[in-house]
Structure 1
Amino acid sequence: MRSRDVILGRVRRALGGPTGEPATYETDIDRGYLREHGARTTEETVELLAENLADYRAIVHRCTDEKLSEVVMRLLAERGAQTVLVPPELPAYWIKAVDATRIYDHAANTPAELDGVDSVVTACAVAIAETGTIVLDGSPDQGRRRVTLVPDHHVCVVRVPDQVVSSVPQALERVDPTRPLTWISGPSATSDIELDRVEGVHGPRTLEVVLCEEDGWLQ
């Protein structure tokens, strides 16, 4: 028996589970953990998402679907964006008011071309309130992973309340694990050994999240 199997068997024994290798992960792995922490209304879940996004230094905006185009236009104008990267199936009305040159996501785009883009606007797959995390899955309204990692400014639209869940387990039920998932908690940042924070190292320096509320969802 390999050392790895011995160690894992001891871990399973300590957790009160079977000591041998699981026959199937669906039946032999305990899934009795909490699916969310505390009971919240939909409104409270959305508020928690906004709070945790801000805690991770994302800039949070809220609007209705009717005002979304105006909000996106304002965010790009305030940034001074002359070019905006657009995923192939981003809803056209989201950026209809934007006064910037559209650059559409194509496989032929080089890293240098993407690096020269001022901003990118995308949708998302799901947003997690408890962790303040946005999940992208490479769908046509989000584009390939690199379009959200190279440009320095990312505007991400989250549909409220349809795309908001409380917890990671709930988010995992919504995504396809075979897709190229990108989990984002705030703008890109890292720290050196002296804990000096540096932003924009391996992703956008500025993340703006627009919580786009469906008309009448609180009624």
Structure 2
Amino acid sequence: MSSRDVVLARVRQALAVVPGGEGRGGPPVARGYQRVHGSRTQEQTVDLLAENLADYRAIVHRTDAEGLPGLIGRLLAERGARSVLVPTGLDASWTAGADVTLVEDRASSTARELDLVDSVLTGCAVAIAETGTLILDAGPDQGRRRITLVPDHHLCVVRVPDQVVGSVPEALPRVAPDRPLTWISGPSATSDIELDRVEGVHGPRTLEVILLAAAPEAG
């Protein structure tokens, strides 16, 4: 008996003990997963996101719509950025305070051309507080997936509280599985066999997240 025969025999044996109706073509299995973990206010959820982003070595800033252009301009100036890649659907007012050359997100751009860009500025689709994760889905204010994987510095704006959820199960219904999703938990990093951490291996070395507060409702 070959190894293949042994493996297939074990698969058949395992399938033979599946309860009736739960196999292929049977009714769906009930999955009563918890979507919400614990009880938090919106403010506490945003604070948890900021805390977990910082744990992943992302740099977190907070501002409102009025202060956003000035903050973006200051952060780019502090890095000495001369060029910033922006998605076509990004709010033009966000870069009004930046003395930089704006680079368009083009399908024809090569990896080498993207590598010459100093920074990239995007929005996001949703942010997960419990894991400190940002999800980008290539929406108009996020651009093509590769623009956030090649440049060394990524500035990501998260609208709070609208784009912030507590858990992964709460985030999944907000994104489409057929879109090019990028899940970001801190700057790109890896460790070798001696556990020496190296950042910027397969993505930006520096991730800065701006939590953009919603304007207060007129009362």
TM-score (norm 2): 0.90
Helix, strand or coil for the counterpart of 1:130? coil
State the distance in 2 between where 1:8 and 1:204 align: 45
State the distance in 2 between where 1:110 and 1:38 align: 45
Within-5 A mapping of 1:100-179: 100-179=100-179
Q: Per-residue deviation at 1:65?
A: 1.1
Which residue does 1:88 correspond to in 2? 88
Q: Per-residue deviation at 1:216?
A: 2.1
Q: CA RMSD in A?
A: 2.0
Q: Indicate whether 1:194 and 2:188 are aligned.
A: no
Q: Per-residue deviation at 1:29?
A: 2.9
State the distance in 1 between where 2:15 and 2:44 align: 40
With over 3 angstroms needed to count, the CA separation of the structure-2 counterparts of 1:32 and 1:121, relative to structure 1, is same
Q: Per-residue deviation at 1:161?
A: 0.6
Helix, strand or coil for the counterpart of 1:63? strand
Which residue does 1:66 correspond to in 2? 66
**1:104-155 deviation digits (Å, cap 9, x = unpaired):** 0001111111000000000000000000000000011101010000000000
Helix, strand or coil for the counterpart of 2:141? coil
Which residue does 1:49 correspond to in 2? 49
Contact 2:188 2:200 in 1 (8 A): yes
Q: Per-residue deviation at 1:21?
A: 2.8
With over 3 angstroms needed to count, the CA separation of the structure-2 counterparts of 1:195 and 1:34, relative to structure 1, is same
Match for 1:169: what amino acid?
P
Match for 1:91: what amino acid?
D
Which residue does 1:21 correspond to in 2? 24
Q: Per-residue deviation at 1:37?
A: 1.5
Residue ranges of structure 2 left out of the alignment (5+ in a row): 1-7
State the distance in 2 between where 1:8 and 1:185 align: 38
State the distance in 2 between where 1:105 and 1:87 align: 5
Contact 1:186 1:207 in 2 (8 A): yes
With over 3 angstroms needed to count, the CA separation of the structure-2 counterparts of 1:9 and 1:94, relative to structure 1, is farther
Helix, strand or coil for the counterpart of 2:171? helix
Q: Per-residue deviation at 1:4?
A: 4.6
With over 3 angstroms needed to count, the CA separation of the structure-2 counterparts of 1:52 and 1:117, relative to structure 1, is same
Match for 2:110: what amino acid?
T
TM-score (norm 1): 0.90
Contact 2:53 2:185 in 1 (8 A): yes
Contact 2:22 2:29 in 1 (8 A): no
Helix, strand or coil for the counterpart of 2:76? helix
State the distance in 2 between where 1:5 and 1:95 align: 61
State the distance in 1 between where 2:74 and 2:124 align: 20
Which residue does 2:4 correspond to in 1? none
Residue ranges of structure 1 left out of the alignment (5+ in a row): none
State the distance in 1 between where 2:12 and 2:99 align: 60
Match for 1:154: what amino acid?
H
